[in-house]
Chains A and B, each alone.
Chain A
Amino acid sequence: MLNKLLSGDMPRSKILAVLLLGILICLAFAPFLFPGVRSVDTAARICVFIILVASYDLMLGYGGIVSFAHTMFFGLGAYGVALASTHMGRGFDALLVGSVSGALIAALLALVIGLFSLRVRAIFFAMITLAIASAVAVLVSQMSGLTGGEDGLSYKIPRELGPAFKFYDGTVLGVKMNGKLLKYYLVFFSCLALFLFMLRVVHSPFGRVLLAIRENDFRAEAIGYRVVHYRVAATCLSAAMAALAGSLYAIWLRYVGPDTSLSMEIMIDILLMVVIGGMGTMYGAVIGATLFVLAQNYLQGLMNVAADAVSGLPLLPDLLNADRWLLWLGVLFILSVYFFPTGIVGRLRKGR
């Protein structure tokens, strides 16, 4: 049963199994284990980013394609939900229409970009996506009539998912049984389902071919697989998954703006999560996203403490300032690409 659910990809390392189980339990019972607005928010963010990072890994780790437009697809899903909710009124149909159309548009766009660039060389894709993603980000902030510009959009989601809706009077384990809880579980179970789906995909024959292409595309072509078709298909699937993650994030936040869904910073975050967690394993996305989001939320305070401690010295406080968080991540990123190309998961599996 478990084997089937995980598509035959068991953790294959005791520490990894414990870690994954721990993350699953913490996320599944987050509202009960860590009550408080901020920690539940963090848990939801982790769920969404796991999907986002896993979908990126589908492209990078399995397809060997570097894209810088993943936040664009993420944003398409988020704006899909936002626009549908603004124009169709609050309701589950709006959420559904928004998510599905966002995912479809993302896949279509990925198809077009992929057909243009992947048929020539895989590295074209990286450059073209970088250009297109930034153009889209500019476009979104300029078309303020439709997208709310820099301010973004706030909208209403169905009443059943808001804190005012109570389906059970009183509390269970000190947690109010309201719509917010329902919303968290909507996000959690959707993410779980999407993750298991992606796990299924990468262990299907399709995923095997992708791996073969990543290892040696020339040989894969010679065996008779149309490399371009497989790569484009992986890109489309990955884009659609990213858009769905964006939709979930938009449902959770009840707000979309360029900063939360389209910015280059998120793109860099995704890259870091994939590389640190481990490219080419879906579990790497889980570990990477969890560690990264936790660190982002809680470690920055620690850096400020460190900066205060060395405040008398020259330059050091500036280097340790919490705003310089990206600097250290960048260094970590470079080091991990050199020394741990398989990331945390690869290390754990090897050290078994």
Chain B
Amino acid sequence: MSAAPDHNPTMAQTTLVQRLEPHAPVLLVLGLMILGLIAIPSTSSWLTLTVSGLAMGMMIFIMASGLTLVFGLMDVINFGHGAFVSVGAFVGVSLLLGLEHMTGAPSLALNLTAMLVAILGAMVATGLMGWAFEKVIVKPVYGHHLKQILVTMGGLIVVEQLIIVLWGPEEIYITRPEALKGAVTFAGAAIEKYRLVAVGIGAVVFLGMRWVLRSTKIGLIVRAGVENGEMVEALGYRLRLVFVGVFLAGSALAGLGGVLWGLYQEVITAHMGNQSMILIFIVVIIGGLGSVEGCFIGALMVGLLQNYVAFLEPKVALISNIGLMVAILMWRPQGMIPVVKAK
């Protein structure tokens, strides 16, 4: 028999690095901002870029959050998620165009009401669509990743084409509501008003989602379902129903993101969902599939980096995101905040 291993407990103070490590993802965002401050010569343009980066990140987060939750909960990967973005944008923009007397008026209250109506309309439409999408397209292929990818991709194609049938093949141009046009100047930096609104909405959505996930019963079930679905079902909860709800909510959020994104770009096309999928996937992979916090941090990083790089070296902007993804995957192959599955 071999002797028992030596056991000499020692007291060691945790080093600074060790204490910082759990917060590494958040620190990365701050680090990126500081790096941007060093690389960009003038502080005022840095401020402008940071705000627009945050706005972009918030919008990507809103679009991506549903995808990552759906994956975490039911192991369903939805390549058709971009379809909700497109539909949301088209419904929202159509409503805004219909409410021209409200968006054209120079009153902030009227403008915001019109936007609220458009956003709610888009969210209801995409929520219903998400419910139908789940029933018709996703349900028959549970547990088959390969088929899920193929079928949801097919769904994306069909929805894209249906948009063209209903709204015509031309891109639709839209101007932002009157009071949200233009920029405010702060510390010498011009900051577009709309971007501030986007940052505000994004922050509200993130905090709301965090609150739901952390402080409500349904959030508890969802989080438990992500970690160990079988156990939650064994305790008597119908995870399927929860999943349909999450899918619906995720689709509605994608629709909200679509409206915001459409107004941000001031032009919408049927392919915008497909295009946004690229950024959404990058963000979801960076953050760790299934993790909402990771998705949020990833989205902010992608938004900031894209804006900084586009300012410094326009041609490298898209590649920079891929580079970021590769770097993160080298550091943590499962993404920044990996979801621990109890299996």
Binding site for B on A (CB under 8 A): 60, 64, 66, 116-117, 119-124, 126-128, 130-132, 134-135, 138-139, 142, 264, 268, 271, 275, 315, 318-319, 323-324, 326-327, 329-331, 333-334, 337-338, 341
Contacts and interface: CB of A to CB of B under 8 A. Distances in A.
Contact of A315 (B145, B165, B318): B165
Contacts of B145: 122-123
Q: How large is the interface on B (under 10, 10 to 19, 20 to 34, 35 or more residues)?
A: 35 or more
Contact of B151 (A119, A135, A338): A338
A71 B154 CA distance: 18
Interface stretch (B18-26, B203-211, B274-282, B303-311): B274-282
Nearest to A132: B322
Contacts of B157: 268, 326-327, 329-330, 333
A128 B285 contact: yes
Contacts of B149: 66, 123, 126
B278 A131 contact: yes
A142 B319 CA distance: 12
8 contacts: A135-B278, A135-B318, A268-B153, A326-B157, A329-B157, A330-B157, A334-B137, A334-B151
Interface in B120-137: 137
Interface stretch (B105-113, B215-223, B248-256, B325-333): B325-333
A132 B281 CA distance: 11
B27 to A, nearest CB: 24
Nearest to B335: A120
Interface of B: 77, 79, 137, 140-141, 145-147, 149-151, 153-155, 157-158, 160-162, 164-165, 169, 274-275, 277-278, 281-282, 284-285, 289, 315, 318-319, 321-322, 325-326, 329-330, 333-334
B274 A264 contact: yes
A333 B282 CA distance: 26
Contacts of B334: 120
A324 B315 contact: no
B163 to A, nearest CB: 10
* Prevailing SS type, chain B contact patch: helix
A44 B164 CA distance: 32
A330 B164 CA distance: 14
Nearest to B151: A337
B326 A131 contact: no
Contacts of B333: 119-120
Contact of B147 (A121, A128, A142, A341): A341
A127 B285 contact: yes
Nearest to A143: B315
A316 B128 CA distance: 24
Nearest to B279: A131
Nearest to A326: B161
Contacts of A338: 140-141, 151
B318 A337 contact: no
A119 B332 CA distance: 12
A218 to B, nearest CB: 12
Contacts of B284: 127
B165 A327 contact: yes
A324 B164 contact: yes
